[in-house]
Amino acid sequence: MVVSPSSSGSRSGDASAQSLGYVVLLSTIAAISGLLFGYNTAVINGVLLFLRRQFAPSNLASEIAASSLLVGALLGAAGASIVGDRYGRKKSLMGSAVLFAISPLAAAASNSVGLFSGARLLNGVAIGLASVLTPIYIAEIAPSKHRGALVSLNQLGIVIGILVSYLASWGLSGFGENSWRWMLGVAAAPAVFFIGGLFVIPESPRWLITRGRYAEAEKTLARLSGESAAAEEIQAVKSTAAGEQGSWGEVFSPAMRKPLLVGMLLALFSQITGVNAVLYYGSVIVSEHFPGQSAGMALASNVIIGTVNLIATILAMIFLDRWGRRVILMTASGGMALALAVLVIGLTVRGAPVSLMLVSILFYVAFFALGLGPGPWLIISEIFPNKVRGRAASLATSVLWSGALLVTFTFLSLVNTLKLQGTFAIFGVLSFLCLIFVWKTVPETKGRTLEQIQASWSK
């Protein structure tokens, strides 16, 4: 049988489209963890309003209640490499999914701030595990030219989860003083879907190769990128893995210093520039610091913030693989600094319109979502060698959660000491320093395979 060139090209194109469709499906299933991540972190924004009324906690107790999840996330992220490297990406994500299902119900049933904080800590462990393993999993199955958009599906899931939590808080706020229990408990439902979806995804082929399970890896790669590319990809992964120890000694070796510094500092900047002050305490900021704003208006403002966050994240997914990581990260951090400068001026000048301050916050969130939202997760998933990717990403993500914890645990105390304008001025300066850091240090990874990125550090 003779196949014409056009017929052969058509079949090749159909196979390529089918492979990409399969990768998108797997990435979408994995990114459900992002939705759970976003919902469970941001729901505290609405919960805290009712928790402060029902249990009358001090500012310190409120900060502990808001931060307990982040402590758990830090612990989960720190342990993710051990779990992910030993048991694989798929089984480890399943463990996080079970925690995602149990912990919101425990938090919803709490009858004290202490029990609430304990349940939220467990929820945070699930988030910490997933925050490391999901971007790694997607990066390890994605073709290089689509990796930015596919890894950013996780960030899209996060911002959808944040928006859904704001909508749920707004919609359920009319259920009385126990509304916060419903806000928390509904998160168990998508966790069950996540568990079901994980049963159908394959293990990461790159993890299988590092374990010497070449037949399984080739089978998965054949479906991900086609049979002809599978053998070549296995050889490329095997050659770059040669000589790597896959140990903590390798993580801290001289060859790893620059990528580790880039990953850790970019992760830190994404948090100490203050976005969680808005995402976690937005309703408190609007209701307690902006004149004439009710609790209902504060929750409605959150919905607008969440919508802007979602739109900007979709734009990031479109342009990360077109414009490159560096351009978007620099644009975003510079835009955040400018938006916060306007916000600080509005908070300082007596009689400044509330609308000016709200619009400044919206632009700040939009620029964050464009760059520092998806960017660090993407860079962290790309820049580390295969055998130590889990350990190095775990370390960088632990730094990220440490930054989130620092901001969340100190925000109300900083506002009491420096006022709102002083606190956001600090975040603005840090945003500008982030711009300088990206300009001077962060490499461009657009369009390069993970193995090519690894090789570039030695040049």
How far is residue 183's CA from residue 169's CA, in Å, rounded to a whole number?
Answer: 6
pLDDT grade, residue 157 (50/70/90)?
Answer: very high
Task: Name the residue with higher pLDDT: 67 or 290.
Answer: 67
pLDDT one-digit tens code per residue, 216-263:
888 888 888 777 667 777 777 766 655 455 677 888 888 888 999 999
pLDDT grade, residue 5 (50/70/90)?
Answer: very low
pLDDT average, residue stretch 99-113: 93
Query: Is 154 within 8 Å of 31 (Cβ atoms)?
Result: yes
The structure tokens listed for 5 are: 């060139």
C-alpha Rg value of the chain to the nearest Å: 22
The type of residue at 252 is F
| Helix, strand, coil content of the chain in percent (nearest 5) | 85, 0, 15
pLDDT average, residue stretch 40-56: 78
The structure tokens listed for 299 are: 């929750």
Residue with tokens 């203050």: 274
Superfamily grouping for domain 18-201+253-456: MFS general substrate transporter like domains (1.20.1250.20)
Domain ranges (residues) in the chain: 18-201+253-456
How many CA atoms are closer than 13 Å to the CA of 99, on its beta-carbon side?
26
pLDDT at position 297 over 50: yes
pLDDT one-digit tens code per residue, 117-155:
999 999 999 999 999 999 999 988 888 788 888 888 998
How far is residue 266's CA from residue 397's CA, in Å, rounded to a whole number?
Answer: 10
Q: Give the C-alpha distances (Å, rounded to integers) separating 108 from 44, 118, 122, 205.
A: 12, 12, 13, 38
The structure tokens listed for 419 are: 């006022």
How many CA atoms are closer than 13 Å to the CA of 211, on its beta-carbon side?
17
